[in-house]
Amino acid sequence: MGLISEFKAFAMKGNVVDMAVGVIIGGAFGKIVTSMVGDIIMPVVGSLARTGSLGEQYLYLGEGDRPASLALVRESGQPYVAWGPFLETTINFLIIAMSIFLMVKVMNKAMSLAAKNEPKDETPPAPPEDILLLREIRDSLQSM
């Protein structure tokens, strides 16, 4: 089997294609969640806390006056703790993790329901060959 045909057989397996689709959708979903948290949740929570967007909050550890924005602190080279972006990333992670957990839970439930609804084969398995031979010997001895 040639290299190209082996690769084609590998790539066209159901689980490889499914995984590729999952990675692409997961990347897009991550961007949507990042936008939702950064553009909707953090500004609303920051507005309620009267601090602006929480995603831009930081603790300035440098000397002198506190710079007006996180971008200016980063440019200054002074020490700081950017707790706002960390909080934003943590919220992103929690939303994505919960979404994945719920999807897996739904998929597992659907698979278990499908397994329950699957008709069961009620015919007993065929006896092994040695048992068949022993029965044949028994029957021939009885007919003597």
pLDDT digits (tens, 9 = 90+) for 67-124: 988 999 999 989 999 999 999 999 999 999 998 899 889 988 988 888 888 777 778 8
Q: Looking at the domain assignment, is residue 61 inside a domain?
A: yes
Q: Looking at the domain assignment, is residue 133 inside a domain?
A: no
Q: Looking at the domain assignment, is residue 106 inside a domain?
A: yes
CATH number at residue 70: 1.10.1200.120
Q: Looking at the domain assignment, is residue 41 inside a domain?
A: yes
Q: What is the pLDDT of residue 105?
A: 92
Q: Is residue 61's pLDDT more than 90?
A: yes
Q: Looking at the domain assignment, is residue 135 inside a domain?
A: no
Helix (H/G/I), strand (E/B), else coil: 26? helix
The length of the chain in residues reads 144
Q: Looking at the domain assignment, is residue 100 inside a domain?
A: yes
**Sole residue written with tokens 């021939």:** 140
Nearest to 41 by CA among 81, 87, 101: 87
Residue span of the structural domain in which 33 resides: 3-120
Q: Looking at the domain assignment, is residue 77 inside a domain?
A: yes
Helix (H/G/I), strand (E/B), else coil: 80? strand
Q: What is the pLDDT of residue 125?
A: 84
Q: What is the pLDDT of residue 53?
A: 80
List, in sequence order, every beta strand (DSSP E) within 1-144: 59-60, 80-81
Dmax (CA) for the chain in angstroms is 112
**Sole residue written with tokens 């006056």:** 65
Q: Is residue 144's pLDDT more than 80?
A: no
pLDDT per residue as tens digits for the range 6-56: 877 777 776 777 788 888 988 899 899 999 998 898 888 888 888 778 888
Cα distances (Å, whole numbers) of residue 58 to 37, 94, 99: 17, 21, 29
Confidence of residue 1 (pLDDT cuts 50, 70, 90): low
Phi-psi region of 77 (alpha: psi -120 to 50; beta: other; left: phi over 0): left
If you average pLDDT over every residue of the chain, what do you get? Answer: 87
Count of domains for the chain: 1
Cα distances (Å, whole numbers) of residue 32 to 27, 29, 56, 95: 9, 5, 19, 11
Q: Looking at the domain assignment, is residue 27 inside a domain?
A: yes
